[in-house]
Structure formats: C-alpha cells, structure tokens
Amino acid sequence: MRVGFVGLGDQGAPIAARIAAAGVDCTVWARRPETLDPFRAGPARVADALADVGEGVDLLGTCLFDAAGTWEVLFGPAGVAPAMPAGATIAVHSTISPDEVRALAREAATYGLHLLDAPVSGGRIRAEAGELITMVGGEQSTFARFDPLLRTFSAEVVHVGPVGAGQHAKLLNNAMLAAHLALAADAFRIAEGHGLDPVAFGKVLAGGSGRSFGVEMYARVGGLAAVARSQARPTLGKDVALLADSMVSDSEGGLLLSAARAAIAAFDTAADD
C-alpha cells in the first residue's frame, strides 16, 4: 500500500510518522518547509511538490485546520487530486462541517476517487503514542480496506455511518470537551470559595464519578485562562460554531449546544482577565 500525507501540524505530523514507522510506503508534503525537516531522514519520503504526493497512492491523508485549506490542497490550481489514480481514497482527518465533507466527497467522485470522513481526537501526545480515536464516515467496503492502516495511529477506530457522520461525531465530542472545561472551571471556583484546597479537589475529581478529560485538561494547564490562551480556544471555537451551523435549529442543539456556546464565552472572559 502507498500512502501520501499532507498537513504536518500538531496531530498530522505524528500521524504521518506512525504510518511510516509501521513500514508503510509513505510520502509527505507540507506548505511550510520547516515542518518537513523531521521527515527528511526517513522513513517517510518528502515530496518536492504537492502533486507528487498523489502519484500512485492508494490513500491520501489530509490533516489541515479547516475546509478552505482542504479544498485548496485537494482541488485548487495546484491540487493533488488530479495526480491521484482513479479508485484511490482520500481520508480527511481535519475537523470541518458535515456539509463540507460531503461536498468534498462529491468533488472527489468526479476524479474517480473515494473519500473517508475520518477526524481524530486525542491531541499530539496521544497521536505520538498511537492512541487516537478515529471516527469514520464512509462506505463500509472502503472503511474495511483502510481500517488496518488507521490503526497504525489509533487505539480505537469506529465506523459511525456514511460520509458526514465522522464530522458529526467529532463536533459533538468537541462540544462536550468545551462544556466540560467550563464546568470544571465553575466546580473549582465553587470549591475554592468554600475553602477546599484546589490540588486536593483535583484529586477528588480525577478519581471520582465527576471525572472527565476536560477536568484533567483544566487541572493540568492550571485554569481556564491558560486554556483560553492556547490553541484549544480557536479550535473549540471553530468546532462549536460548525456544530451550531449543522443544526436545523437551536432547539436541536439543546443543552449541549447551549453549554458549549457558554463555554466559548467563558474562555473569552478568562482570556481578557
């Protein structure tokens, strides 16, 4: 199997590295040359141009920040899709809207290409350890073909439905994270107001039934202001907005969307304090 990979950011770089380390024939490309430096000694090959990444591949993985970047890399004037062989598959690991990924799949089909909607969750540390969760939307037969490859960087690979379902799952997941972070901040605020030691209270939540990844993240970085000033703020803000756009009404979003929106507002307040 031959794989190409574009988008060597916080999660993309370790994903590509694990694919190559598993013995897969892997070629990488990035817009910023410095992000390619860790790959120049192998085992992945570094392409000279974007189109070169698509030549002869079975699968092209993309892990870019947004839909605009994904469209540009795949179907822009210098896009990689025309260089890919008919019957090959694109795996979109970015978090974008369900409508956008379905539109990408329709455009890919005009080139004779398949598409898997395959966002990931876990962050850089889990990507480096091969412990991401990858939620996949797409045809069952296409998913089955590439399931073993996705497991080179994932502890869990879950087929959740057709194209678009992977993005729905990821957006709901990230809305939960945003809400949990804001709830953790409130819980620690109340606890400290009642004289509880924050470190001790953190241990209670870490081992108790109120534990969550959001609580762990909050305690690890040292508060909501630190979260708000990190890459988590633009990422979660983007994803909550995408979730809202995917809902037919605010009432469909219900308590989760309300809590996630309140969390983004809380991030911004914390960042300004």
| Residues forming the active site | 170
Cα distances (Å, whole numbers) of residue 131 to 11, 111, 123, 215, 216: 11, 33, 9, 19, 17
Cα distances (Å, whole numbers) of residue 196 to 200, 226, 229, 249, 270: 8, 21, 26, 41, 21
- How many other CB atoms sit within 10 Å of the CB of residue 272? 8
Strands 120-121 and 132-137: antiparallel
Distance CA 212, CA 230 (A): 19
Joined tokens for residue 253? 């979003």
Residues in the chain: 273
Nearest C-alpha neighbor of 70 from the set 61, 59, 57, 58:
61
Instruction: Indicate the SS3 state at residue 206.
Output: helix
Nearest C-alpha neighbor of 167 from the set 250, 252, 91:
91
Backbone angles phi and psi of 45, in degrees to 5:
-95, 145
DSSP label of 135: E
Alpha-carbon 57 to chain mean position: 22
Summary count for the chain: helices (H), strands (E): 12, 9
